[in-house]
Amino acid sequence: MADTNDNKSTQPRVELSIPKQAAAPEDSFLLSAREVKYWAEQLPVANVGETARQVYKTLASFNRMQIPTLVRAEVIELFREPVRYINTNITKHYLGAGFPLSPKAQKAALLATELCNEIAISYKILFLEQVLGNEHNFNQKLVIVAAQRALQYIKQRMFHNLLTYRDYQQGLWREAHYLYAWASQNHVHQIGVKDNSKFPWKRNSVQSIEEVYKGMLLIATTSPYRLTQSHLRRVHDKLPEWDKLTEIGSISDLDNHSAGIFYLNLWSDDPPQKSISPAQRNDSRFRAFDLNGILSEARREYEESEWESPAHLDHDHQHLSRSLLKSLIRGWNKSLERKFARNALQHELFAIVGLSNLLRLLEKNIEEAAEEQAGKKQEAQGTDNTSSHLTWNDSVFSTLAIASPANAQGGDSIFSDSNNLASTLLGTTVDADPQNLFDKLARDPNAAFSVLTYNESVEGYCLGWKESYPMKVRVGDILGIRSPNNPDEYSVAVTRWLKDADEKQLYIGIQVLASSCSPVTITPGTKASSNRQNQYRCLLMSGGGIENERRGILTNTRAFELNTTMTMVTEFGEHQIKLTKWVESNNNFIHYYFSYVEEQQPNEANAKPEENFQDLWHDL
């Protein structure tokens, strides 16, 4: 359906994809809006799976039939509520889940995107019938509604796809750019279209083609592969408020800011870009997308918002946490470029997922090391004492060996779906004797397991994460990476982004926060408490990172007030500390900087208020 206009022409090509259509059977109930309404009312909504099967099958057939235009326009509106109901119920299978997704969750995510796609197809058919059909039958109201609805479901399709960290579908941006370009060229892009929802609070909802398009652009500018699912949903809920603060226009009119500008190629299949070449600035196909209005609002909200923490989750989706706003402000101000070059290098690492799992593993290693040291000491004392309580000849036992059923490495996984998930993978890390009767018990699915790197830099790695791994991973998860030289030493990393590669593997980008770590407990106050309710397990980090001179701790238990004296208990003794800065937080952990009380400078506690935001000023 594409035409061959010159690339420099301002007339956009028709870039909408629809399936081939055949004549509808004469007895098809899809030829009558009344019968379709009756069918929809009889759907077994209590059985979401059966409802989804019937709706998807019927909708796919509907889009491949030749239906009269006005009948199609009336019928497709009846499908909107069943599709909304289905998608609301099936998203629970992949929201908050670890990745890679289970086969069931993958199918649920695919169904959500395909239902949105089928609805969009129906409205694209209506749009093309008006644009390419007989001008005597042209209905201006219908074509505007069809364009707005098509764009709306293209956006929903993209959103469900991003929730599972998959790449943009081929042709998605080309169709979105085309619909906006057509509406803008015909000066109908700002005409509002009512939602027509059955819900009273949505009946007055009105959105124009431009507002829907802006919302789609906004999601793409947030670096969605770096956001947690909950953060992405919170941004989505803010779109009706934020899209009014943005502007789309010519580059010459809007590109007078040093930050907050993205660029659109209306003839491409590309999302908004942060930079373009000098030649493209004079190309009529390009537009500027100005986010400086949102930046001003986001900075104001940043000053008023609070940090997010695992123990104090903010359930108000209308207010974003400081952690999320900080990430958005940085991404909108400048391109998120790599700080260090990545080198393609494949090698094996051993990793464990989750802060609690890493803490438990390190604590277990310390206990085993202490037991081993005590055993050696007792053995040394035994050699000095020649007396023995044995009254029989024990040489007959010298040829017997008992394999220990305990694995030297262990941890707990909040994502462990099955005790057998790790058997094939972890078996490669334990070169056990086939005759070892305890071999199966030694393969702990919660222990560190082998992963493969694809490239690495000074700050971190890109890992391939397979569905066969015993632990799943999410954006914002803490990872422990075992040192190849010292099996008892772990570096601390955090998952910064996810990207789905195929059905059985995805890529994850991790940033190393510290080259070594150890488990500690902290107690508010100047004395260590023997009451476990007042003790909080934390991870002490040291070495590595850009600010390696700064000491940090990670916790997933609660949020602490800054600049209050606390007692930290390590394996070497007690220390009084003060938390000096809240570095980062999400649903999984909180990262603090701290200093030892005896090392604090007299004026350190009275630092100027503006110093709390030193890491943000250069981005504003």
DSSP string, 334-387: S----SS--EE---EEEEEESHHHHHHHHHHHHHHHHHHHHHHHHHHHHHH---
Contact yes or no for 481/349 (Cβ under 8 A)? yes
The pLDDT of 532-545, averaged and rounded, is 81
- Per-residue pLDDT at 606: 52
**Helices H / strands E in the chain, number of each:** 16, 20
> Model pTM greater than 0.75?
yes
How many whole angstroms from its chain centre is CA 379?
52
DSSP string, 31-77: G-HHHHHHHHHTS-TTSHHHHHHHHHHHHHHHTTEE--HHHHHHHHH
190-215, pLDDT tens digit by residue? 999 998 766 554 556 899 999 999 99
Domains of the chain, with CATH numbers?
A: 343-365+403-513 (2.40.10), 517-617 (2.40.10)
The pLDDT of 208-227, averaged and rounded, is 96
Residue (of 509, 511, 556, 557) closest to 534 by Cα position: 557
The pLDDT of 169-192, averaged and rounded, is 96
Mean pLDDT of all residues belonging to the chain: 81
308's tokens = 């997010």
267's tokens = 């003839």
Q: How many CB atoms lie within 10 A of CB 551?
A: 18
By CB neighbour count within 10 A (0-12 exposed, 13-18 middle, 19+ buried), where does 479 fall? buried
Per-residue pLDDT band for 263 (boundaries 50, 70, 90) equals very high
- Per-residue pLDDT at 369: 80
The pLDDT of 489-498, averaged and rounded, is 93
- Per-residue pLDDT at 397: 30
- Per-residue pLDDT at 207: 93
pLDDT over 60 at 620, yes or no: no
* Residue 395, helix vs strand vs coil: helix
Residue (of 606, 514, 530, 496) closest to 562 by Cα position: 606
- Per-residue pLDDT at 15: 81
- Per-residue pLDDT at 79: 97
376-414, pLDDT tens digit by residue? 777 776 655 444 333 333 333 333 333 323 333 333 333
* Residue 130, helix vs strand vs coil: helix
* Residue 511, helix vs strand vs coil: strand
What region, left, alpha or beta, does residue 544 occupy, with left being phi > 0 and alpha being psi -120 to 50 degrees?
left
Residues whose CB is less than 8 angstroms from the CB of residue 43 and which lie 6 or more positions away in sequence, other chains included? 51, 54, 55, 82
- Distance between CA atoms of residues 584 and 355, nearest Å: 15
Highest mean pLDDT among 34-38, 255-259, 467-471, 533-537: 34-38
The pLDDT of 35-60, averaged and rounded, is 96
563-601, pLDDT tens digit by residue? 889 999 988 889 999 999 988 888 889 999 999 987 655
353-362, pLDDT tens digit by residue? 999 999 999 9
- Per-residue pLDDT at 406: 30
Residue (of 292, 255, 257) closest to 276 by Cα position: 255
pLDDT over 50 at 443, yes or no: no
Which amino acid appears at position 257 of this protein?
A: H
Q: Of 96-105, 271-280, 305-314, 419-428, give the lowest mean pLDDT range.
A: 419-428
- Distances, alpha carbon 306 to alpha carbons 254, 323, 327, 584, in Å: 33, 8, 14, 12
How does 122-133 read in b/e, with b if 16+ C-beta sit within 10 Å? bbbbbbbbbbee
Contact yes or no for 248/183 (Cβ under 8 A)? no
- Distance between CA atoms of residues 275 and 288, nearest Å: 10
- Distances, alpha carbon 593 to alpha carbons 76, 492, 596, in Å: 56, 15, 11
Three-state DSSP string of 180-199: HHHHHHCCCCCCEEECCCCC
pLDDT over 80 at 83, yes or no: yes
Q: How many CA atoms lie within 13 A of 458 on its CB side?
A: 8
